[in-house]
Each structure stands twice: as structure tokens, then as C-alpha cells.
Amino acid sequence: MTKSELIAELAAANAHLLARDVERIVNTVFEEIKTALARGDRVELRGFGAFTVRRRNPRTGRNPRTGEPVPVQAKAVPFFKAGKELRERVNRGRKRGTTTRAATKTD
């Protein structure tokens, strides 16, 4: 689902709100999450999950074309951990022992 699809669905589900107001709300929520992560804060949405920032140490990588060693600087990357309610909802209806097609694909 794209952001525009999310806005369209929320606007359809909330007929009392104008689409531009729904767009402003969605953009504000996303902007606040980005701002908090940029500060290094943790953002927790109960029942949905938590966004955090993880630090990656500097390392030596490889140029895939030449195989030559390349220094990779330390960096921060956003990380999302799904909450229990979200995990349960995603897995609802799946039987134990079943796997996705991608997981069973053999190369």
C-alpha cells in the first residue's frame, strides 16, 4: 500500500473528513516519526510496533564489480519491530507448519 492509497482508504472510511485533511494528518504523523528518529528517539505505537534507530559500525566492504576493499563509514539506520497485536493479525489464519512460497523455493 502506498501513502496515497492509505490516504484514499482513510478518507473513504471517514466521510466526515475532507481528503486534504486526511492527507495533512497522515503527513503530520509520518513527519513526527521522522523527526523523532532523527533525534535518536524511539517511537512506539501500541499494538502496531516500535521504530528505533540502530547504529552500524564502520567496516570494510567490497566493490561488487572489482572485489576491491572499500571502507564503509559508520551510519544510523531506521529499524521497525512489529508489535504483538500486528504479528498476530498478520499471522491469523495461517496454519502451523505452512510456509510461504518464497521460503519453499529451491534454487
| pLDDT attached to residue 93 | 64
Residue, of 69 and 92, whose pLDDT is higher: 69
| pLDDT attached to residue 99 | 60
* CA torsion, ordered 67, 71, 75, 81, to nearest 10 deg: 30
pLDDT surpassing 80 at residue 53: yes
| pLDDT attached to residue 107 | 45
Following DSSP, what letter does each residue of 43-92 receive, concatenated?
Answer: EEETTTEEEEEEEE--EEEE-TTT--EEEE--EEEEEEEE-HHHHHHHHT
pLDDT surpassing 70 at residue 7: yes
Q: pLDDT for 24-51, tens place per residue?
A: 999 999 999 999 999 999 999 999 999 9
Q: Where are the domains of the chain?
A: 3-86
Region 70-82: mean pLDDT is: 96
**CATH for 3-86?**
4.10.520.10
